[in-house]
């Protein structure tokens, strides 16, 4: 068990307007490489925010300031034992390639509520984009700038 240090924001890197199910995520992450997956033992995210703003729990956790071994998800190599990961559906333009902030109004509202609640409960935990910890475009928006816009200064 390790102390929680990061809340990492992600996108599914799927085209704008295309919904993703939790079973899609499970297949992409946990299916064997030979079957098109990544072969991971666990999915990459604790929670997923759907296009309609619904928040779906993908991996149970006990909502405390520690990351127990059974709570670890595979969102950022080398940081998973000290992180929680939340993903919004989207993050790529309709071309399926270009990084784009595709958050719907419902996702914006849900993500803001999620992050504010998380920050209230764990004020010392850094809220970051995946791109701040790895060479990725994910989550396809500037997390630091967005946090300031919603009143969170870290």
3-state secondary structure of 57: strand
Half-sphere exposure of 48 (CA within 13 A, CB side): 24
Proportion of the chain above pLDDT 90, given as a percent: 98
Proportion of the chain above pLDDT 70, given as a percent: 100
Give, in order, the Cα–Cα distances in Å from 63 to each of 39, 52, 150: 27, 24, 23
Residue 65 is predicted with a pLDDT of: 94
Residue 154 has pLDDT above 90, yes or no: no
According to DSSP, the residues that pair with 10 across neighbouring strands are: 87
Q: What is the reported pTM? A: 0.96
CA–CA gap between residue 23 and residue 32 (Å, rounded): 15
Residue 1 is predicted with a pLDDT of: 87
Domain ranges of the chain: 2-149
CA–CA gap between residue 115 and residue 150 (Å, rounded): 9
CA nearest neighbour of 16 among 74, 94, 69: 94
Range 2-149 has CATH code 3.50.50.60: no
pLDDT tens, residue by residue, 39-66:
999 999 999 999 999 999 999 999 999 9
């Amino acid at each position: 068990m390790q102390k929680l240090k990061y809340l990492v924001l992600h996108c599914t890197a799927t085209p704008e307007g295309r919904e993703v199910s939790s079973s899609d995520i499970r297949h992409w992450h946990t299916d064997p490489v030979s079957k098109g997956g990544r072969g991971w033992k666990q999915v990459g995210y604790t929670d997923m925010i759907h296009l309609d703003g619904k928040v779906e729990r993908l991996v149970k956790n006990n909502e405390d300031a520690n990351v127990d071994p059974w709570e670890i998800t595979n969102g950022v190599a080398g940081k998973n034992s000290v992180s929680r990961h939340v993903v919004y559906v989207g993050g790529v333009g309709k071309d399926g390639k270009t990084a784009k902030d595709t958050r719907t109004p419902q996702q914006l509202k849900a993500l803001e509520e999620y992050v504010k609640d998380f920050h209230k409960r764990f004020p010392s935990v850094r809220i970051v984009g995946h791109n701040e910890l790895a060479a990725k475009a994910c989550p396809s928006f500037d997390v630091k700038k967005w946090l300031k816009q919603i009143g969170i200064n870290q």
